[in-house]
Amino acid sequence: EPEVTQTPSHQVTQMGQEVILRCVPISNHLYFYWYRQILGQKVEFLVSFYNNEISEKSEIFDDQFSVERPDGSNFTLKIRSTKLEDSAMYFCANGEGQGRYNEQFFGPGTRLTVL
């Protein structure tokens, strides 16, 4: 079964540093999403991406965040200057986008720890 993969599985960084989280989506699934889960809290939507542009973004997704598909396959989330409160599990999700009941396929997540 096709699956979404994410790298790295765990990233530790110093406050103020830039991090890039990477996601390899399922081939031919054209809708991309990033979610995050702060420890002990619910999974929250960050941003959706389609046709090389942002479709929707939440209020969490401020100017410190950016997304892109640099090589047409990988999908990345960049945090420009990390803060302590960015520590969370970040999930990439991927959907076909066709049909009313289509699902989103999630990657295993990247645990980001900001010190």
Partner 1 sequence: AQSVTQLGSHVSVSEGALVLLRCNYSSSVPPYLFWYVQYPNQGLQLLLKYTSAATLVKGINGFEAEFKKSETSFHLTKPSAHMSDAAEYFCAVRRGGSQGNLIFGKGTKLSVKP
Under rule CB under 8 A, residue 65 binds partner 1: no
**C-alpha to C-alpha distances, 44 to 1, 28, 59, 76, 90, nearest whole angstrom:** 26, 25, 11, 17, 9
Under rule CB under 8 A, residue 45 binds partner 1: yes
**Within a 10 A sphere around the Cβ of 25, how many other Cβ atoms?**
24
Query: Smaller CB distance to partner 1: residue 93 or 114?
Result: 93
19 DSSP β-pair partners:
79
Query: Smaller CB distance to partner 1: residue 50 or 65?
Result: 50
Under rule CB under 8 A, residue 28 binds partner 1: no
Q: Contacts with partner 1 in 4-23 (CB under 8 A)?
A: 4, 6
**How many residues sit close enough to partner 1 to count as binding (CB under 8 A)?**
31
